[in-house]
Amino acid sequence: MGNHGFISAQWKLGHGITLFWGPPTRDEAVGDPFFLQFTPSPTKTQELSNANRLKVFINNGESGIILSEFFMITRYLESRVIDMTREARGPKEGDFITIKSYKHDGSLHRTWRDTMVLKTSENALIGVNDHTLVTEDDGRRWVTREPAIVYFHKHYWFNIVAMIRDNGVSYYCNLASPYVLDKEALKYIDYDLDVKVFPDGEKRLLDVDEYEDFSQRWHYGEETDRILKANVLTLVDWINHHKGPFSQAYVDLWYQRYQELLRRSH
C-alpha cells in the first residue's frame, strides 16, 4: 500500500513503455510526491540512446493524484517516447533538414534552410538543394539557382555539392569536418579550402590564402592541417576516378529519385 492509501502499480503501455506508479524510494524522495517511472523496453532503450529513462515526480500534497491527471500523464509520456524515437532514428527520405556550417572559432558561417533528405546511412547523408534559402553570417540572404545533390560523410573531411546545370554538372567541394546531426540541423566546421570542378573536368583549389590566414588566427594546429591536406588528396583521387558523387550515374540516380519524391508529394 502506497502513501495516502494508493497502491503501487505497474502498467504496460504501448510503444514498449512500462509505467510504475507508487511512492518514491528513499533516495528519490522529494517532499512527499508519488513517483512515476517511465522505462522503455530494452529495444526502445537502444533506440532512445541516452533518453532511456524518464522520471516524473508529482507533488500531490495530501490529496493524492486524481485519475484524470494520471491518464493525462500517461498520454504525455507515450507521445514523448514517440518523439524521442523519431529523433534518435534521424530524418528519413523526403524529410527536410537545416544545414549549418561553422568556423573553427565556433561562429556560424552559413545556413541552408531546407535540404531534402534523399538517403541516410550509418555514415553518410545524401540530400538535394533546389531554390533553397541560404543565409550568410552577415545576414545576407540568397536562393540557390539550380538543383544540387549534396553529400556528407562522418569520416571524410569534406562535403560535396553537385550542381546540375544546362551545360553539365559542376562540383563545389568544401574541406570541412565530418558532419554531426542533431534535432536542430546537420552541422560541420568549414575549413576554408574548396575544390571546384568544372563540367569539362578542370579542377581548381580555392581560398588557399584564406586558409593560411584563418589557420594562424585560430590555431588550427599541425594535426588538423595534416588531416585536411590528406583529404584534399583523397578528394582529388575521387574526382580523377569518378568515384561516388563524381560519377554521372550517381548524379542521375539521385536527381531522378528527387523528382520521384517531388511528384509523390504533389
Which of the residues are catalytic? 110
Report how far apart the first and last C-alpha atoms of the chain are (Å, whole number): 58
Q: Which residue has the cell 515526480?
A: 57
Q: Could you tell me the maximum CA-CA distance found in the chain, to the nearest angstrom?
A: 81
Place of cell 504533389: 266
Q: Please name the residues in contact with 224: beta carbons below 8 A apart, sequence gap of 6 or more.
A: 191
Cell of 13: 503501455
C-alpha–C-alpha distance, residues 88 and 85, integer Å: 5
Secondary structure, 3-state, 96-163: EEEEEEECCCCCEEEEEEEEEEEEECCCEEEEEECCCEEEECCCCEEECCCCEEEEEECCCCEEEEEE
